[in-house]
Structure 1
Amino acid sequence: MWGYYVELAVRSSRRSKALTTLVIVLIAVGVATSMICYAVFRATTGDPIPSRSSELYVPQIDNFGPSKNNQGEPPVALSYLDAVALSKAHQAPRLTLIYPTKWGVTSDNPLASSMSLAGDAVTADFFTMFDTPFRFGGGWSTDDDNRHASVAVISQRLNQRLFGGRNSVGHDIQLDGHAYRIVGVLDDWNPRPRFFDVASTGPLSAFDDTGYLYIPFSRAVDLKKASATYYCSANGSDPDISGWDSFLRSECAWINAWVELPTASDVERYRQYLRNYAEEQQRTGRFAWPANTRLRGLMDWLAVQRVTPKASTLSMLVSFSFLVIAMVNVVGLMLARFMRRAPEIGVRRALGASRSAIYRQFLTEAATIGFVGGVCGLALTLLGMSGVGLFFEPKIARLVHLDVPLVILTLSLAITASLASALYPAWRAARTLPAWQIKING
């Protein structure tokens, strides 16, 4: 029966080529516009580490106070005093401290020139917590952190530059004139968005590539390696800081902290620990305000940091509004298409066809047109994705791609939109009175 309805749809389309073509074009353009914008939105709001995101949290402690913080929100990073205290407390199964740095890099390869590259100073748990894949070797140990060891993990890109992609574990590189032994080479690891140090790099850098190298946090502090960014108050007024030791003792916030909390009870215990810690700082006189702390999960953290470009959200809303307008026009075209066949419907009803049979016939016809519109929409979507770079930054445009889920969604949306637009026209057509149509058409 369904095959018969599809055959009727094809015959009807041949008789009404102009109307059919216009419906297909409207559906294809509406769906393609929506899918292109959705692809951009998906790329900028995706989970950067789906396997672990539900266990990763960012602790925040207000060490600025209500007169200097951001409308009651604690600083996005931690001071050195608080970061070290949280690390020594061992209240979470894993904790990592991170801050971005820049290094002058040379190697024992005489053919590789020196260069200035960005990286991160991190603690040993970084690699386990974030499931970083390794091509060669691995991360360093907690004991290396405690010994302030001169070790490094480098990216695949840096390994290619310095060693031609060979296994460089055991080789030395020079960072700002100091020798570091390579213990690991990362494989292709470039999470989007770059979530782990977004508090320091800022939302505008959330879709930049990850750094070229990673060294122990403790070693970077020993070398007085300054963070690429730091905040001493929300209003930008920095205190008078003279020297590195004074900076470490200050309330400047510059360290990203992440904790791994596998269960809900772990989360609640750590949240209570943060409150207790802040209350203790108040009792000692360091804080002159009530405890103000936060513990946010990864996806909530990205939302708070506003890493999704506003243009992405706005374009998606506009595109789906355009799809709704296209559907309204399709309703009118479907109504004209179906009602011009009233004599045919009247004859079929007179010969015994039920209203439900007429309804199924026209909905099958709408679904068939929707499928064709979806296929055309796929072609337009693929074409439109090549032009995303005209409206978004290249680092975002290169994340947009057509994959199997998007193909399925495009076809499903086209068919659904076509069926939704055909509901009222099909209902009107099914209510055609056979006696009246036979009478007026002789």
Structure 2
Amino acid sequence: MNSTTRFKLSFMMFLEFFIWGAWFVTLGTFLANNLKASGSETGAVFSTQSWGAIIAPFIVGLIADRYFNAERILGVLHIVGAVLMYQMYNASDVSVFYPYVLGYMILFMPTLALVNSVSFNQMKDPEKEFANIRVFGTIGWIIAGLLISFVFHWDSPEGIQSGLLKNTFLMAGIVSLILGLFSFTLPATPPKVSEGGIKVKDILGLDALKLLKDKNFAIFFISSILICIPLAFYYQNAGLFLADIKVSNPTGKMAIGQVSEALFLLAIPVFFSKYGFKKTILVGMLAWAIRYVLFAYGNADNLSFMLIIGIALHGVCYDFFFVSGQIYTNSKAGEQVKSAAQGIITLATYGVGMLIGFMVAGSITDMYKSGDITNWKMVWIIPAGIAAVVFLLFAVLFNDKTKAEIETKIA
């Protein structure tokens, strides 16, 4: 890969995740303070990510992969997304805001697959080259958070009070427009369709459902859905929680989670080779319970270190469960259904699991909110309990017999 192509792909990844990090982290705070949304309404808004994840395979599989170059549809989706972001910036009520964010997420979620397609198309050895490109996406997310907290101060108590937090949508919209236009300069990635064309069952990954006949994979599959319930609490409430208890520069501090994610990604091969899949994934599950206990009992003063540790555990929570789960899925699937298997897991987690999770998180938040006061201790203790139950079920029911096989796959 020449240096020009490497730069373009790296810049594409940077902008892609800068856009997401620029508004999604502070979304819960914005909804509660600017639009006065209830917990259930906030949950409905966050669930648009799940609807986007469910619909994304159809956009990529039935449209992008069949008729258009990936970089061109990437450009169109981000340009239209910029317009929707501007409408979200102008919205003054959650009922007005919701249709725009739903439309945006239906368009944005497919771009996560498209940027990967554009990147892989230029690589001779994706397993070695992709990580060096993808890391710029994590950097983009981190930079967005640092700008919001330390440069613009939109998430400060004064910024929230004066309504400046809505500027995150304007910033994301501008960068979305830039990426939309920039996408047309990316290397050509033409559609790749077999002579028989793409079938709906291939898009949905239905062939991969036969993996569920394996008891251990079925337990992993169900556990993946269940663990997304506590995950939804973090996405929906963490930013709002930190702002509500008056933690300084909350969005910037949450960027610690992305730094952690990048670092712990490097530790996964070591854990796999030494402890196997079951112990690695159990560490990830346990980390979810521990981080929520830390959130429940920490505060913005003398116990603020507990909140920082909880945020820093994001790398263990995400990488040790989701990334290791992807490796496990890859090891269980045959060559013909590898892509379908990854697709069905993504649909189950970011689609079904998160959809249920946001509904539960919204209801629990409403249950423990009285006026402007939220009982955050209970809001965090409940998902900690859910994560602990999933941990115990997986520990008892999952019988790890594939350690040697997985070690071979990642060696």
TM over 0.5: no
TM-score tier (shorter): under 0.3
Structure label with greater radius of gyration: 1
Question: Per residue, is there more strand in 1 or in 2?
Answer: 1
Tell me the TM-score normalized by structure 2: 0.23
Tell me the TM-score normalized by structure 1: 0.22
Question: Per residue, is there more helix in 1 or in 2?
Answer: 2
